[in-house]
A and B are shown apart, each in its own frame.
Chain A
Amino acid sequence: MSSHRRHFLDKSLYYLFSLDGNLEYGREDIGFVSGGVRINAHSVPRDSRAYSVVGETRVFGEKLVAGTMVWGGDWAFAREDDIELLDVKALIRTDDNAVVEVEYGGVLAAGPRSFRQVISEKPKFGSEQNPLDATFYVAPRFNSGDPRYAWLNGRQCLGFGRVKFIESLAKQATVDFWMMD
């Protein structure tokens, strides 16, 4: 058998846009399910924003997404092994009136014994003065019927985000989306 590769395949990451979600609007505690706790969190309609942190508006000549998240939710599953699985769907209406679908799964690993701390709330983590930032990683895909954003449809992307906890509740999430090429 031939020897394996000694080099990485070519890869590039291109910044797409960032998304801030305000999660205060709706929290639905489903409760204990097999293996953990199910929680549905919904963003505040029209109070969450897609934008560029670097001011760029195009990548490869294509228009980047900037607009308002009009609908979004995370059907999250906090597992007993201290890993939270994210299951997010969201809709962005861009400033130029297109609709872009956002869909991703991901992982938030808050560390050892975090599940116990989440469900016991002893002690509660994060405060107004000192929120707790937890990191999450996601693998989004985007979809749009609008020709101006159709270039996104075939792209697998990555996202690096932070969620802010206050009094043990997720209040705000922010994520940077990157396109793989």
Chain B
Amino acid sequence: MIDSGNIEHFLNLGLEGIFYVTTLVFVIFSLSIGYHWFSYGVQKSRILIMLAIYLSVSAVLFISMSLALTAF
């Protein structure tokens, strides 16, 4: 028997799965981006500024995702 409680439980599980997979992809992507920036970049100051912006914006989006996840 499928009731709404079960559907909600599986939905939340799926959303958590999406969150963790996204985090994993983000970490791999960030490491490869960082490697490219620091290996082949020219201006270190510009790279550091971009890295700070990149991580700050990403942190805001991750916090927003995790807050939404706890609200379910």
| A and B found bound together | no
Interface set of B (CB-CB < 8 Å, partner A): none
